[in-house]
Amino acid sequence: MSERNVRVDVVIPVYNEQAALADSIGKLTAFLETRFPYPWRVVIADNASVDRTPEIGAGLAAADDRVEYLRIPQKGRGRALRAAWLASDADVVSYMDVDLSTNLDAFVPLVEHIVDGPFDVAIGSRLLRGARVTRQWKRELVSRIYNLLILLLFPRRGFSDAQCGFKAVSRRAADDLVPLIGNNEWFFDSELLIRAEQRGYRIAEVPVEWVEDLDSRVDILKTAAEDIRGLLRVRLNPLP
């Protein structure tokens, strides 16, 4: 890709994020404006929020033509990413969590792995050498056990951290892979990476600095159960 012609969409999936949304989008757009070398657009992908998130998101989009608000009428982070990525015409689609737990300094190298090649998928990793992570030991333990389980079920795995909410995908890979993903919730990330590897795409990893959001509303046990069901489904249903 030629750097001058590369366009990047940064998708922020949200659900009931009225408290954090405006501040996070402000920090993100300030970073992209001053530090990011490619033309960009921020897409707020709201999956069925019932608080003031729609009002705030629409207001942010009205105030800045580089910000778009997309309303998805059903819940599900994966569903929000699916809708935003497939509707996009950008050369690179990406996403990060609204809490900006991952230090934005890693975003430029993340995208550069795709722009410069030979990678079509690039992910942030909290488990690579050089990563700096601050989180409670319970979440650290669950994460490591889950990634070990992926390795056991898919021994050829070429990635270390399936769940970090900091990923970028080339246009061709997104168009190819997203329709293959059966999950519309939290397992979407893992299925994306497993299917990418099965399709022969190369996956780049970038060590990140990551600080846990203590206000996170993710139900760890429910998400873990969903992930295990998803792994078994994908294991029993390989691509033809």
- Residues assigned a catalytic role: 189
Rg of the Cα atoms in the chain: 17
Q: Which helix (H) or strand (E) holds 186?
A: none
CA gap 138, 206 in Å, rounded: 24
What are the backbone angles phi and psi of residue 171, rounded to the nearest 5°? Answer: -60, -45
- CB 57, CB 14: distance < 8 Å: yes
Q: Which helix (H) or strand (E) holds 202?
A: none
- What would the two tokens of residue 165 be? 């909410």
